[in-house]
Structure 1
Amino acid sequence: MLSKNYKQGAVLSFGELLLRLSPDAGGQWLADSALPVFVGGAEFNVASALALWDVPSKYFTALPKNGLSEELAGYVNSRGIDTSKIFYGDGRMGLYFLTQGKDLKNDALIYDRANSAFAELKPGMVDWDSVLEGVSWFHFTAICPAISQQTADVCLEVLQAASAKSITISVDLNYRAKLWQYGKQPQEVMPGLVEYCDVVMGNIWAAEMMLGIEVYGDIHESGQKSIYLKEALSSSERLIEKFPKCKAVANTFRFDGRGTINYYAALYADGGFYSSKEHTADSIVSKVGSGDCFMAGLINGFYHNDAPQQVLEFATAAAFTKLFVASDATTNTIEDITNAITNGQ
């Protein structure tokens, strides 16, 4: 069961703080000598949403020791996030480039993260007992172990420390093909980390790619919601059988085509299966951070011990409304998201 008194502690998000440089597709940024910059990173986006929704939110990352890092830490802190556990070490700031309007899985994505302060973290460098003090929920993503074997080892180290303290652990199965370049495939790394997790979020294809939970049948082009949901139930049941510590599995579905965006999700929790209402739109502003907002919505719901259907509807609406926000992290309040559920946006 996920029900517990999480309010005795904070949610700690673990991951790399990045700067997103976002040129327009036509090259106007060159003529204007102006390149839009956003503070990003999947885990920061989660921490930011939770802080906005008044959930005690802490953030662990590693930054280089310089003035730019001080400004960034101040910015993060100004969003209501506890930055006291940030690790300052050697290396540089991680960057990524993404053309405006494009998806993180698109060819328009370019990473520049080699030798960053976060990538330079090694097992034994951080006092995890100190970092995890006052924490009741720990969140990370599959992006971190995709960086290098060394970073994957750091992930394992902190997961073991959090598990030993009976801290609830969640993971987002973000798949970034451009990061898995160090000779290991996700299925060689992720199962050993997911075995510590209580909540797993992603989609049926990510579970197949990273955990070996096969997608049965030729459903990829079906377009039928009932078939996708049936597969989500099957995938969730098999995932929990494979990873007994896991108590909840969430799957999101976003389909872009023929001029509309369709978004819905499913949640398997404590033996029950739930599906959300479907949200649609003719156009969106940005796809960046939508999944992170869904993850934050899940954590928010479980943190407050909401009923599973309520948890799912809020997380789905949070993710959908994020599609209309230009920055990496959502700016939508609890009221904004609740209105989206009520009004059927």
Structure 2
Amino acid sequence: MKKIVALGELLLRLSTKDYLKFSQVNEFNADFGGSELNVLTSIAKFGLPVEFITRLPKNDIGESALMEMNKYKVGTDFIPMGGDRLGIYFLEKGASIRGSKIVYDRAYSSFSTIKKGMINWKEVFKDANWFHWSGITPGVSQDAADVCMEAIEVANEMGLTVSTDFNYRANLWNYGKSPKEIMEPMVAKCHVVLAGDYASKQYFDIEPEGTTEKELLVSLCEKLKDRFNSIQKIAITNRGSISASHNTWSAVLYDGKQLHESESYNITHIVDRIGAGDSFMGALIYGLNTYDDATALNFAVAASCLKHTIYGDANLVSKEEVENLMGGDQSGRVQR
């Protein structure tokens, strides 16, 4: 069975307890996370082998991060240890009409100073069929962008499917290069993308045209495919926010000819929405390796719907739990 490989930064997540604001707390819950790691954790839970590439400090915190990944069967065999520190993000969890807030502290992290040549990509990809990255990684630093491009090029040379989540973060990209300058040649070598109108505008000045929601979605997908000939499939999620604890959730998948539309879920009493997009991407990658496109899309939406009920960055539900939800079981009854 071929591996799914991803590159990205592992972060220490420090979140407030009981929906308190930052100004009210004197302690935080500590967990590990990060977009690309979240993607792989989902895939590993569904039963496919995965390998994560990052860089961690050679200290007790770095070792704890390795142990956490291994607990969820995320491969760590090629991770170089070094650098000064682990990146951190602080999360203030919103409630009702008050949204959540995130503050990053990731400058000079071990991952931000990763260098080309540290990773033997041909060895990493030897038993792999898929490579995933997100727009967060090249936004961290020029070094991280260089390593990401290095990986994308080798993955293409070796015939892997390459996927990306656009994941635009306005508070990154602080090293003198524009997002468009960096992202354009990277996305030009990708085959599956998780996009959105905001990120497409920020990265590529692409804006959809149309009067209906479906027309806008198809327009965005067609413009992305026209710009990037390599793209074979485009996914777009749709979150309707009634409040911080009540959302609707659905998605579409475009294959160049047909726009597949998923089931829509009404999610009340949200436990934690951080990582929902990552769980969608992970389940979509699993689905595209397992099912037809329409089933893969509905699997991804159901899996990421369930993520809203899971505390922490990662989606820890099983394939069977996702299939139960797809089958219509939204009862929440005790399983005996």
Q: Partner residue of 1:51?
A: 44
- Give the partner amino acid of 2:111: F
Q: Deviations over 1:63-106 (max 9, x none)?
A: 1112221221022011111111111122211111111248xxx7
Aligned residue for 1:343, secondary structure, equals: coil
State the distance in 2 between where 1:229 and 1:63 align: 43
Aligned 1:219-258 pairs, distance under 5 A: 227-257=212-242
Aligned 1:71-86 pairs, distance under 5 A: 71-86=64-79
- Give the TM-score, by structure 2 length: 0.91
- Give the partner amino acid of 2:54: T
The answer on whether the counterparts of 1:99 and 1:108 sit within 8 Å (CA) in structure 2 is yes
Structure 1 residue 333 corresponds to structure 2 residue 326:
no
Structure 1 residue 215 corresponds to structure 2 residue 200:
no
Aligned 1:5-24 pairs, distance under 5 A: 7=1, 9-24=2-17
Q: Partner residue of 2:271?
A: 285
- Match for residue 62 of structure 1 among 55, 61, 71: 55
State the distance in 1 between where 2:138 and 2:213 align: 28
Q: Deviations over 1:315-334 (max 9, x none)?
A: 11111111111111011111
Name which of structure 1's ranges 21-30 and 292-301 shifts more when overlaid on structure 2: 21-30
Q: Partner residue of 1:168?
A: 161
- Give the partner amino acid of 1:179: L
State the distance in 2 between where 1:56 and 1:317 align: 21
Q: Partner residue of 1:109?
A: 102
- Match for residue 182 of structure 2 among 185, 189, 202: 189
Aligned residue for 1:43, secondary structure, equals: helix
- Match for residue 308 of structure 1 among 265, 283, 293: 293
Q: Partner residue of 2:327?
A: 342
State the distance in 1 between where 2:21 and 2:274 align: 20
State the distance in 2 between where 1:41 and 1:260 align: 24
Q: Partner residue of 1:264?
A: 250
Distance 1:282 1:78, change over 3 A: closer
1:29, distance to aligned residue in structure 2 (A): 9.3
Aligned residue for 2:78, secondary structure, equals: coil
Gaps of 5+ in 2: 331-336
The answer on whether the counterparts of 2:187 and 2:228 sit within 8 Å (CA) in structure 1 is yes
RMSD over aligned Cα atoms? 2.0
State the distance in 2 between where 1:20 and 1:12 align: 22
Aligned residue for 2:56, secondary structure, equals: strand
- Give the partner amino acid of 1:240: K
Runs (4+) of structure 1 moved beyond 4 Å? 27-31
Q: Deviations over 1:49-72 (max 9, x none)?
A: 111100111111101112221221
Aligned residue for 2:111, secondary structure, equals: coil
- Give the partner amino acid of 2:144: T
1:139, distance to aligned residue in structure 2 (A): 0.5
1:204, distance to aligned residue in structure 2 (A): 2.4
State the distance in 2 between where 1:112 and 1:28 align: 15
1:270, distance to aligned residue in structure 2 (A): 4.9
Aligned residue for 2:113, secondary structure, equals: coil
The answer on whether the counterparts of 1:229 and 1:275 sit within 8 Å (CA) in structure 2 is no
The answer on whether the counterparts of 2:236 and 2:251 sit within 8 Å (CA) in structure 1 is yes
The answer on whether the counterparts of 2:80 and 2:118 sit within 8 Å (CA) in structure 1 is no
Q: Partner residue of 2:261?
A: 275
Gaps of 5+ in 1: 1-6, 220-226
- Give the partner amino acid of 2:53: F
Aligned residue for 1:20, secondary structure, equals: strand
State the distance in 1 between where 2:23 and 2:141 align: 33
Distance 1:28 1:119, change over 3 A: closer
Aligned residue for 1:132, secondary structure, equals: helix
Name which of structure 1's ranges 81-90 and 120-129 shifts more when overlaid on structure 2: 120-129
Q: Partner residue of 1:126?
A: 119
State the distance in 2 between where 1:270 and 1:229 align: 14
- Match for residue 321 of structure 1 among 295, 298, 306: 306
- Give the partner amino acid of 1:321: L
